Amino acid sequence: MNELLEKLKNISTLEAVKIEESDKQYIALKNLYLKIKNKDFYLSLIIANSIICYQLSGSWENYWEEFSNYFSESEIKSVGEVTKKLSIFIKNSKWNKRFIQTKISRLEKLKPFLEIFIWNEYFYYKNMENLQTNLAKIMNQKIWDKTIVFGVKMFSYWSRNYFNKLIYFPENIPIPIDSRLTKIYEKFNDDMSLSIQDFYKNLSLKLNIPPLHLDAVLWVNYEELINS
């Protein structure tokens, strides 16, 4: 871990936010925000897409660009249309081809929450841990599961634009573990008794960067870190 800390020691939370906003996923959703015909259901659409964003057939960047391009031409007028049009989208998606019926079932399970969420978006932006807890409850998952934490992350990204305000991620929300973070953990972890979540929790504390902000830092620097 000391080697990894040395490589990342000059990055602050504010710099991590700047890195996030240069991420292709962030740029894709910024373009969607600028083009979408009805912004009322924009954040609901982001949450719904996040909980079906797993086992992709390509990179996450490609998938979110595809998503952005598709929905920039689509008008959504209700929560029902959010889940319905997403179901149609993934049936024809180039980058989200696996477990289609399971993902459509997840969208149906999410729908009752979206009916409440649509009226409480700013509350959830100010209270992201509540969003994490309530998403996990409706989806019958653990609060640290990847799709739950990722949903909070993507929602927060776009609340910055929607509400024109930056609220930093809470320190208690863990980093969403994926294959890239697993490889970084395997390369830099020198304490085999330390779990992957505890490894990133410790890294976050030592760098003084909340785990969800640290996520983008590691993604953007992944190739350099792994090949160093």
Tokens of 59: 């990179």
Tokens of 96: 């989200």
Active site residues: 146, 178
What are the distances in angstroms from CA 20 to CA 17, 35, 62, 213? 5, 21, 16, 8
Q: In terms of C-beta density within 10 A (0-12 exposed, 13-18 middle, 19 or more buried), how is residue 213 classed? A: buried
Nearest to 5 by CA among 144, 182, 193, 184: 184
Burial letters for 86-111: b for 16+ Cβ neighbours within 10 Å, e otherwise?
bbebbeebebbeeeeeebbebbeebb
Nearest to 59 by CA among 228, 222, 226, 227: 222
